[in-house]
Amino acid sequence: MAPEWPLENSMSDRLNATPNDLRAFWMPFTANRQFKKEPRLFVGAKDMYYTTHDGRQVLDGTAGLWCVNAGHCRPKITEAIRQQAGELDYAPAFQLGHPKAFELANRLVDIAPEGLDHVLYTNSGSESVETALKIALAYHRVKGNGSRFRLIGRERGYHGVNFGGISVGGIVSNRKMFGTLLTGVDHMPHTHLPGKNNFTRGEPEHGGDIASELERIVTLHDASTIAAVIVEPVAGSTGVLIPPKGYLQKLREICTKHGILLIFDEVITGFGRLGAPFAAQYYDVKPDMITTAKGLTNGVIPMGAVFVTSEIHDAFMQGPEHMIEFFHGYTYSGNPIASAAALATLDTYKEEGLLTRAAELSDYWADALHSLKDCPNVIDIRNTGLIGAIELDPIAGEPTKRAFTAFLKAYEKGLLIRTTGDIIALSPPLIIEKHHIDELFGKLREILQNNI
């Protein structure tokens, strides 16, 4: 007989999880076993705070995973999802459609940099990256330049976890277990210059000329073999690397000169993180494609989008009308519920001025962040928009331990931070108020000054 639902004494009815409750879920990227010994479960969230299974409030210093830009459980988004789920739950987007996916695409290109006039939908940042890389290769093919097969990424780059993304990505641990990856990929050096740019606010002075390494790669392989360059304008998951002054502009110049497409992976910088809708606008550098996800639906429903120029889009529209132009798409591309969530998210951003709010708060944020400079073991602090990073001196022989200890202590104190290696990364919801900033850095100071 099928069990009745809800199961009596299910984990959601109890305060504490037992080891048996936690047995089956192989968690993403997580220190599974550590977590299962000391579970940290959220059971609710509102605006800037999570509620834990034992009833505590935790200030969200990371917008979940860089995604809940409008804060948690926002009424407009919740209601849009509820309504859409009862009205049209699913509609294929292959030779069929529904109005909201089209309305959303128009709304998205309205806030995108000029000329990025078309949108393809995906379900995640990783899928957006795969989609953009495939478009780049196919674009050159349809233009008669099929010899352009190479993709150029960057050391320490993070572009999700699928094969294209880890191939152009540059985080060794994410790559080394998975064989040969894509062939024909090369990497530019990263822009982090320890000792030269420490404790910089905003864009570092030194390192803009590292972009000319792309010229070296072009000379090595010849431009006629290179399809695209992909970079995160601000690299987040590798520990927050802010582009040095002039760096992105120089990459753009080199790509244009050699007919190479420039892709900005804006999965974390998109939707207001820096104080403009996209980093492309913030840095005034226009790429040929932008990959997004996360903040598109406020993290509430999986959805991603790839923005492309008309030139790229139109290159695919030259054959007979009944023919498929681009052999790519997902069952859930433009899903009605995701589209409704994204439209309500855009409404919320607009009504509350959230796409530019980071610009208003960034000085206050930077002052509070950099005030931790005097704490023991802090070797660097960097920031831009509503992003911050605090780099800690690794304990000899025990890398990552210091930051992970900070993470555990912060959670105990009611603060969510994120760590990569020995770097603490911060990216709160854009609805954050000054008193939350004070609370966040007050808690961090209590932790860091105790010489963890």
Q: Is 160 in the site for ligand PLP (CB under 6 A)?
A: yes
Q: Cα torsion for 169, 265, 388, 302, to the nearest 10°?
A: -100
- The token duo for 195 is 């000792």
In the block, residue with structure tokens 């550590």:
34
- Pick the closer one to ligand PLP by CB: 119 or 129: 129
Q: Is 232 in the site for ligand PLP (CB under 6 A)?
A: yes
- Pick the closer one to ligand PLP by CB: 231 or 315: 231
Count residues near ligand PLP (CB under 6 A).
14
Judged by CB under 6 A, which of 130, 203, 265, 391 binds ligand PLP?
265
CA dist 291 and 144 (Å) reads 25
Judged by CB under 6 A, which of 59, 133, 293, 312 binds ligand PLP?
293
Q: Is 385 in the site for ligand PLP (CB under 6 A)?
A: no
CA dist 82 and 86 (Å) reads 7
- DSSP class of residue 328 equals -
Q: Is 267 in the site for ligand PLP (CB under 6 A)?
A: yes
- Pick the closer one to ligand PLP by CB: 124 or 348: 124
Residue 48: which of 34, 33, 63, 37 has the closest Cα?
Answer: 63
Q: Compose the 114-143 pattern: x for residues touching ligand PLP by CB under 6 A, - for all others.
A: ----------xxx--x--------------
Helix orientation angle between 354-370 and 336-351, rounded to the nearest 10 degrees: 70
Mark the segment that binds ligand PLP (CB under 6 A) among 255-263, 265-273, 383-391, 439-447: 265-273
- Pick the closer one to ligand PLP by CB: 241 or 447: 241
Report which residue's Cβ sits closest to ligand PLP.
Answer: 125
Residue 244: which of 198, 203, 288 has the closest Cα?
Answer: 203
DSSP letters spanning 220-247: HH-GGGEEEEEE-SSB-TTT-BPPPTTH
Amino acid at 407: F
Q: Is 312 in the site for ligand PLP (CB under 6 A)?
A: no
Residue 130: which of 170, 159, 94 has the closest Cα?
Answer: 159
Judged by CB under 6 A, which of 71, 170, 233, 236 binds ligand PLP?
236
| Residues contributing to the site for ligand PLP (CB under 6 A) | 124-126, 129, 158-160, 232, 236-237, 265, 267-268, 293
